[in-house]
Amino acid sequence: MIAQVMAFEGSPEENELGMEHVLDEVVPAARATAGIHAFWLVSPDRARRLTVLLAENEAVRDELFARVRERVKAAPDRERPSPVSVESWDVYGVVPGES
């Protein structure tokens, strides 16, 4: 299992645009991709956000990103803040949540 962690910084308004993008374009793509677990976090002051993606492997992660790109193509003029950092990690332990 691998993880990708993306950090975003900006005004509350910029981060609101980012959250809308996630909810409208990324979450549906993640739900449609088997082997993905994801968490999207925002600071209480709305100045920072984190995306934490867990994928079974690189192929699954790449499938998710391809699905997101397809959704982005449908609305190319939409504002989507870019991350200030992107890091890849290997996952060595997971505690599953209860259903």
Ordered mean pLDDT values, 10 residues apiece, the chain (99 residues)? 97 95 96 96 97 97 96 92 96 77
* Residue numbers of the domain that contains 57: 2-90
98: in domain? no
Structural domains counted in the chain: 1
Any domain includes 86: yes
Tell me the C-alpha to C-alpha distance, in Å, between residue 57 and each of 20, 46, 67, 78: 27, 31, 16, 30
Supply the CATH number for residue 37's domain.
Answer: 3.30.70.100
Residue 95 maps to a domain: no
**Structural domain includes residue 96:** no
How high is the pLDDT of residue 98?
A: 55
Q: How much is the pLDDT for 41?
A: 98
What strands lie across the sheet with 36-42, from one edge to the other? 36-42, 48-55, 2-9, 85-90
Does residue 99 sit within a domain?
A: no
Residue 72 in domain:
yes
- State the pLDDT at residue 95: 87
- Which pLDDT does position 97 carry in this prediction? 60
